[in-house]
Amino acid sequence: MKFILLLVPILFASLFGATTIVDRRPKLDVIVLDAGHGGKDAGAVGTNGYYEKQAALGIVLKLGKLIEKEMPGVKVVYTRKDDRFIELYRRGEIANEKHAKLFISVHCNSTPQKPSHATGFTTYMLRPGKTDQAIRVAARENAVISYEAERARYKELTDEDFILTSMARSQDVKYSEKFAALVQKELSKRLTIRDNGVSQAGFLVLVGAAMPNVLIETGFISNPKEEALLKSETGEMNYARGILDAIKKYKVLYERS
């Protein structure tokens, strides 16, 4: 009797010409990890000489290994795995070429004054900056284009362009917001520094990535204590673990949609 019941769906499918059932639910199967800066672009420099490009890469490499170990079925793609310079537009292109479902760009915050008492981490989404602080952070990160040969490609990007981009990708923006909130929540469990919340700004590195995407500004490298945290194995792992936990929870939300 049990054998007959098992055959019923197969016979039904055969009668009506259906041979396979396609699962069209979204899958979080490819994640692109982007370590900010690199090569001739050191990014911000800490009070004790630690480079943003080093801190970002350290966190990204640890995060990638954790994903590969604990999230079977999820492919990790890196925009860089060593100390090399990658143009901002190329980072988004890599994500598109690999059909990524999530793009995560990792950076460090900083202030012009060093040493600084500024503290905390922030996750940004692609929208026009609402605060002076967000606009300053985006301007600092976007200054990377000064190292690029084809800077003209960025000249026409204005707040209106960022608005139109976010409108055209309203679904991606919605999921970017969900993931950003999870990143802040999970990092705050593992770090003792301030949770500065989710913000928005016009980051050029996010413009070309046609999927949910965020830019994470980790602790202030201009703050000696946070620079030391970013430089330590424990600090790198806490950042990587926090982002991993956010990815795991986001995967459930994403695939349930």
How many domains are contained in the chain? 1
C-alpha distances in angstroms, 250 versus 61, 73, 244? 20, 15, 10
**How far is it, in rounded angstroms, from Cα 29 to Cα 23?**
14
**How far is it, in rounded angstroms, from Cα 257 to Cα 255?**
5
Residue 19 lies in a domain: no
Tell me the pLDDT of the chain (257 aa) as tens digits: 444 444 444 443 444 445 455 556 789 999 999 999 999 999 999 999 999 999 999 999 999 999 999 999 999 999 999 999 999 999 999 999 999 999 999 999 999 999 999 999 999 998 877 678 887 888 888 888 888 888 777 766 676 776 776 666 778 889 999 999 999 999 999 999 999 999 998 898 998 899 999 999 999 999 999 999 999 999 999 999 999 999 999 999 999 97
**How far is it, in rounded angstroms, from Cα 238 to Cα 232?**
10
**How far is it, in rounded angstroms, from Cα 149 to Cα 17?**
57
Residue 10 lies in a domain: no
Question: Collapsing DSSP states into helix, strand and coil, what is residue 144?
Answer: helix
Residue 92 token pair: 């988004």
Give 109-112's long-range contacts (Cβ < 8 A, gap of 24+). 109/44, 109/137, 109/217, 109/218, 109/219, 109/220, 109/221, 109/222, 110/44, 110/46, 110/52, 110/140, 110/220, 110/221, 110/222, 111/220, 111/222
List, in order, residues 6 or more apart from 84 with CB less than 8 Å away. 38, 39
Residue 20 lies in a domain: no
The type of residue at 13 is A
Residue 215 lies in a domain: yes
**How far is it, in rounded angstroms, from Cα 134 to Cα 137?**
5
| pTM assigned to the model | 0.87
Domain harbouring 195, CATH code: 3.40.630.40
Q: Is the peptide bond before 115 cis (omega within 30 degrees of 0)?
A: yes
In terms of residue numbers, what domain contains 60?
A: 25-256
Q: Say how many C-beta atoms besides its own lie within 10 A of residue 168's C-beta.
A: 11
Residue 12 lies in a domain: no
Q: Say how many C-beta atoms besides its own lie within 10 A of residue 163's C-beta.
A: 13
